[in-house]
Amino acid sequence: MPGTETFESRFELVLPRSVEEKWRAVGWRTNLMEARDEAQRLHRPVFLWIMVGNPQGCT
């Protein structure tokens, strides 16, 4: 029935689901050389994320 929604039910719609939170399990590294050494040792690739500009996306 329209109009019977609660704040909590609306809030649940925008919360990330567990499947959308898998990126948190990634072993993120902040030191490129350490990440490179670890990747080489474990025979894994390195995903390099580079951003230029304001970290809030206000470029």
List, for residues 33-48, the tens digit of each pLDDT value: 999 999 999 999 998 8
pLDDT of residue 58: 67
What is the C-alpha separation between 7 and 20, in angstroms, rounded? 22
Cβ atoms of residues 29 and 35 within 8 Å: yes
Average pLDDT in the chain? 85
Residue 52 has pLDDT above 80, yes or no: no
pLDDT of residue 53: 77
Backbone angles phi, psi at 39, to 5 degrees: -60, -40
Q: Is the pTM value of this prediction over 0.85?
A: no
pLDDT of residue 1: 52
What is the C-alpha separation between 34 and 55, in angstroms, rounded? 23
